[in-house]
Copies of this chain bind each other. A is one copy, B any other.
Amino acid sequence: MQFNKQKRLKHLLTIDGLTKEHILEILNRAEGFFTPQGEIVQTDHLHGKTVANLFFEPSTRTRSTFELAAKKLSASVLNLDISHSSTSKGESLRDTVRNLQAMQCHIFVIRHSASGAAHFVTQQVKPGTVIINAGDGCHAHPTQALLDMFTLRKHRSEFHKLTIAIVGDILHSRVARSQIHALHILGAHEIRVIAPKTLLPKCVEQLGVNVFHDLKKGLQGVDVIMMLRLQTERMQSGLLPQGDAYYRLYGLTCDMLSNANPDALIIHPGPINRGIEIQSEIADSPNALILDQVTNGIAVRMSVMSLLMENAQK
């Protein structure tokens, strides 16, 4: 659904199904948006184009970086606060999208609480329009996984040598799903998930991961730790050990970290909960690449938007 006949990307809905070449094309293009000093450049790639930021769930980080990425490409950005818009007054997602299409928006960045929302939208738009999934339910968050790969690759380019652990609420995490797909495609040596049973999907092994319920054991020999944000509202629902108990069992403390390889890298999609899923000192340590991820997210989103717009015009 996200490919044209030449198997080039026309939308970005999910990492699942991409080839290594697809991913590397995006990461390499993203590299090109940095100056040697690490500043992201201002370009004219999308001059005269309009990007509609269609966020049905609140988001500061993802929305802002998509907005900044679009402006760095000289696009116009239309931010739609959906909770105040006609959609909330009963207009369907389909009609909202078709109206925005009629407004000649060229790229739709969509976040929605329903898994598959971005897929649905691709069926509503004319050829030449680009749909980018910015997170749909528990399903996928492909640009997050791509920026994670970009960030890792800067420090550890040989994925086939890496053992990676994803820690936290795998069950509800679209980030984790997209990361697992991306790591497989790039040929990671071993992917582990570490979580209490209540926060793992059924049959999670089928994703090709090794499952650990014990953080200490799971971290042994690990090169990269991918923390997930804990949705603290889930603690109250009984899905999670409450308060300190979770931190004691699954929080990434300096003590716990000593079980991983000495130079293990830590990434986190943010915003971080200091003292809830991660010890504050670790978040601020040199091996934590959390702020690099934010910067790289702009370049990766510029890469995705400009590449897909080019493919769409072919």
Contacts and interface: CB of A to CB of B under 8 A. Distances in A.
A28 interface: no
Counted per complex, copies of this chain come to: 3
A271 interface: yes
Interface residues of A, number: 45
B273 A90 contact: yes
Contact of A103 (B48, B64, B99, B274): B64
Nearest to A101: B291
A292 to B, nearest CB: 7
B76 A71 contact: yes
Contact of A95 (B95, B271, B292): B271
Contacts of A78: 64, 67-68
A76 B69 CA distance: 11
A95 B272 contact: yes
A202 interface: no
Contacts of A271: 86, 89, 91, 95, 99
A8 interface: no
A129 to B, nearest CB: 12
A270 interface: yes
Interface in A112-152: none
Instruction: From A65, A84, A99, name the one whose CB has the most chain B CB atoms within 10 angstroms.
Output: A99
Given A92-B274, A103-B294, 17 more contacts: A39-B104, A41-B48, A42-B47, A50-B71, A60-B84, A60-B85, A65-B103, A68-B78, A68-B104, A72-B76, A91-B271, A95-B271, A95-B274, A99-B270, A99-B294, A102-B291, A102-B294
